[in-house]
Amino acid sequence: MNPWNVMVRRRSPLSMGKAGKLEKPVFWERPTEKTASGTSGTPFERSGGTFARWRLGKTEIWEKINGNANWRDPWAQHLTVKQVENAVSRTFEGTAEFLLTAPRDGSTVSAESVSAWMGRGELLGLTVSSSQPFHLWKPGETPNFTIRADSPNIQLPRGRKLPKMLQIRWTVRDFDGKIAAQGTEKRADFAQDPVFAREVTLPADLPRGVYFLDVSASGFIPRTKIKTKAFGQETGGQTPSAPKAFARTTFGILPDYEFQHRERSIFGLAASFNVPSESDVFRLMDRMGVRWLRNGDTRVFEREFGGIANSHEGISRGKFQNEPQEKAEWIRGVLGKMAEQKNFGWELGNEWNMTKLESGETADEWTHEWLLPVWKARENAGPEIRKIQIFSLGLAGPDLPYLRSIAENGGWPMLDGVCLHPGRGNITPDCLEGYWSFLGAIRRTKKQMAELDEKYPELPDGTPSRTPKKPLFLTETYACTRPHHFWYDSQRQAAENVVLSHVLAMAEGISGVFWYQLHDSVWHNVSGMNENDKEYFYGLLDRHGAVKPSFIAYCTISEALDGAEFRKYGAFSVSGMSDSARGQEPGIIKYVTFDTPRGPLAVLWSRADGYVQSKAPGKGESFVTPEPWEDHWKTVLPVRLAVSKKFRTNEVIVLDCLGREIAIAALKKGTTSRIEVPLTGAPFLIYGLDLQELEENSDGKHAEKERLGSFDTEMP
């Protein structure tokens, strides 16, 4: 018997011919340590386990899944077993746990309350939900939520009591931490009917942005009055065992926007889940301005929102080894399916170079075992298949030795493009230093590609390469928000970095940016949670599909760059401030300019605080992620910028990373108007500046400290 493949088979009434509905509850915690600035830190979710639920008449049966939740059928469930230490014989044991509840009045017990009781011995579950997809409303609409606190209707052990009274407090904060709405609800008879649900309707005048709805529930159990010899009777009050719970969700306010230049867009997605539904996700992609998809059917995407799909049909080392006929048939089948789906290209594999970075290992195998057979199959096929482009595997970081090894093995002229995963940790996207940098990785890869294009322009038989100048795609770009780890972004940093990543990608001429990914969680545990695994935190939406700040930021920059044309990079130094950071370009104040249908656009930010967002904690210390509304940038530089004479001062628009307009006072001297912008490390999007004057007063890469010209900078 293989002890790792144990399945528990259930007898009637559980073997009802269908598997129980899977539930994946969580519970929220606050960090016990403080942030570097002394604040309490952002709350975070912990997995409350996975449960299967059946409804039999008036009874609900809950099974706590202690194995792989995906290994199941209508009659059995996988069970994890462990070897018993010091047993006489080789012995394994495992536990199957069930809970029977009797919901009152036909209602359903929440998975959160079942998880609280079975997992932690607590008596209160708390959920915050809305039927609105993605918790996304338009300006003027009224956001509404259901707050529900409940306890499972079970026979409690001796000494445990349900709270007599329950109090719920809720607070809505905006991205600046300002309270936008709040309220308190109470129930005096919770013990008699332990389900407390309230509908909360929020104001209709909330402006564009992201909001945080925090809910806390507190139960009150009167103390038992006990007579003592010395002190008489104990006073009443809340006992230490009175249940408490906390939950948070996010929601967004976003106006409609019709994209006019999607065919020129660089915006894409690397992955998504159909949460809450496929049609809802398609509508959301349309609103986001998504053009590129890493996988799927172009016919569907074109119809639904004007998108086009690549193919990322997986290949792995050793696949079809010593099976040439099967391999050839498989390749022809994939190419045929791609032609039918109108896929524009094939990203041929994923991150093989992670075996050993910058060594070139596996590049010869990839070239001879996969690139060459796929290229030959395409060249020998019909006209529709010959339209398909062949791209490199998704390269983990700027692995230049790997690209050179592909070329040395004869593969470079066969490629129609390169797919890069630039990677990024606790540094800003414009940082050039380090392997896992964003802009640094792009520039090093582009430089190497240009050299290989020049060195290997044709196939061994002298035929010119079909794509002599190869485009660069970023097929995994991200802003991971795993909390309480210094390497990853806070929710606020992620929003800023979504904007800056796309600005830099367009300035660098990237053909497509495939953001990884739309939803939190992972493909094998959709809507699940594992707080210790970074892979659960790459989404623009949370695991239930509620918008994160980074989602609003994505929409902000996709709107801003709709139809935009890159003009120039630039930088300025600041008197009295060192800008000689190792490996970085000179200049404290950075900008990128664009011509757009809306008018001249300048994106500006400061690097007065450097490129490192957060530092690793010392030995014995913990890193605590701050709340989303806490600004991590310390230095504010008031900068005066000249307004274009084609614009009146009141037409100049300054937007933050969420697309919120920032009120800026106008300064006028003679015929020249200026605005004073408080720059930090967070990018501002500014329409209506005199871009020519701005650009002429910097030399782009090497700004002179004494030559600020019209770019008037004052130290605070």
Q: What is the DSSP string of 323-338?
A: -HHHHHHHHHHHHHHH
What is the rounded CA–CA span in Å between residue 403 and residue 400?
Answer: 5
**Residue 58 — pLDDT band, cuts 50, 70, 90?**
confident
Render pLDDT for 234-279 as a digit per residue (tens, 0 to 9).
Answer: 444 455 456 789 999 999 999 999 999 999 999 999 999 999 999 9
What is the rounded CA–CA span in Å between residue 590 and residue 500?
Answer: 11
8-state DSSP, 84: P
Q: Which residue has the tokens 């991971």?
A: 480
How is 51-63 classified by DSSP, letter by letter?
EEEEEETTEEEEE
Strand 472-477 with 417-421, pairing: parallel
Residue 296, Cβ neighbours under 10 Å: how many?
Answer: 18
pLDDT surpassing 70 at residue 75: yes
Query: How high is the mean pLDDT of the chain?
Result: 89
Q: What is the pLDDT of residue 270?
A: 98
**Beta-bridge mates of residue 60:** 55, 101
What are the φ/ψ torsions at residue 306 (nearest 5 degrees)?
80, 25
- Residue 693 tokens read as 């004057």
Burial (Cβ within 10 Å: 0-12, 13-18, ≥19) of residue 325: exposed
Residue type, 457: P
Count the residues in the chain: 716
Distance of CA 571 to the CA centre of its chain: 30
Task: Return the percentage of the chain with pLDDT > 70, whole number.
Answer: 91
What is the rounded CA–CA span in Å between residue 640 and residue 87?
Answer: 77
Burial (Cβ within 10 Å: 0-12, 13-18, ≥19) of residue 76: middle
Average pLDDT of 294-301? 97
Average pLDDT of 80-101? 83
Q: If we measure between CA atoms, which residue out of 164, 191, 394 comes closest to residue 294? A: 394
Q: Which residue has the tokens 């992955």?
A: 271
Positive or negative, the CA dihedral 280, 283, 287, 293 is positive
Q: What is the pLDDT of residue 481?
A: 98
**Residue 648 — pLDDT band, cuts 50, 70, 90?**
low
Distance of CA 578 to the CA centre of its chain: 34
**Residue 17 — pLDDT band, cuts 50, 70, 90?**
low
pLDDT surpassing 90 at residue 304: yes
Buried b (16+ CB within 10 A) or exposed e, 204-218: eebebbbbbbbbbbb
- Alpha-helical segments (H) within 342-438: 363-366, 372-379, 383-386, 400-408
Measure CA of the first residue to CA of the last residue in the chain; give whole Å: 73
3-state DSSP assignment of residue 415: coil
Helix axis angle, 439-455 relative to 400-408, nearest 10°?
Answer: 20
Higher pLDDT, 95 or 701: 95
**Beta-bridge mates of residue 29:** 44
**Residue 705 — pLDDT band, cuts 50, 70, 90?**
very low
- Residue 110 tokens read as 């929440």
CB 483 within 8 A of CB 497: no
How is 616-644 classified by DSSP, letter by letter?
PPPTT----PPPTTS------EEEEEEBP
What is the rounded CA–CA span in Å between residue 458 and residue 456?
Answer: 6
0.75 cut: is pTM over it? yes
**Residue 709 — pLDDT band, cuts 50, 70, 90?**
very low
pLDDT surpassing 90 at residue 106: no
Q: Which residue has the tokens 């490996």?
A: 583
Average pLDDT of 166-177? 96
What is the rounded CA–CA span in Å between residue 339 and residue 388?
Answer: 7
pLDDT surpassing 90 at residue 72: no
Please count the CA atoms within 13 angstroms of the CA of 411 that sit on its side-chain side: 27
Strands, E assignment, 516-643 = 565-572, 589-596, 599-606, 637-642
Q: What is the pLDDT of residue 698?
A: 63
Q: Which residue has the tokens 């409350």?
A: 48
- Residue 471 tokens read as 């485009």
3-state DSSP assignment of residue 135: helix
Of these ranges, 3-7, 407-411, 568-572, the one predicted with the greatest mean pLDDT is 407-411
Q: What is the pLDDT of residue 552?
A: 98
Average pLDDT of 37-60? 88
What is the rounded CA–CA span in Å between residue 186 and residue 220?
Answer: 11
Q: What is the pLDDT of residue 702?
A: 35
**Helices H / strands E in the chain, number of each:** 12, 38
Strand 672-679 with 637-642, pairing: antiparallel
Q: If we measure between CA atoms, which residue out of 177, 116, 127 comes closest to residue 149? A: 127
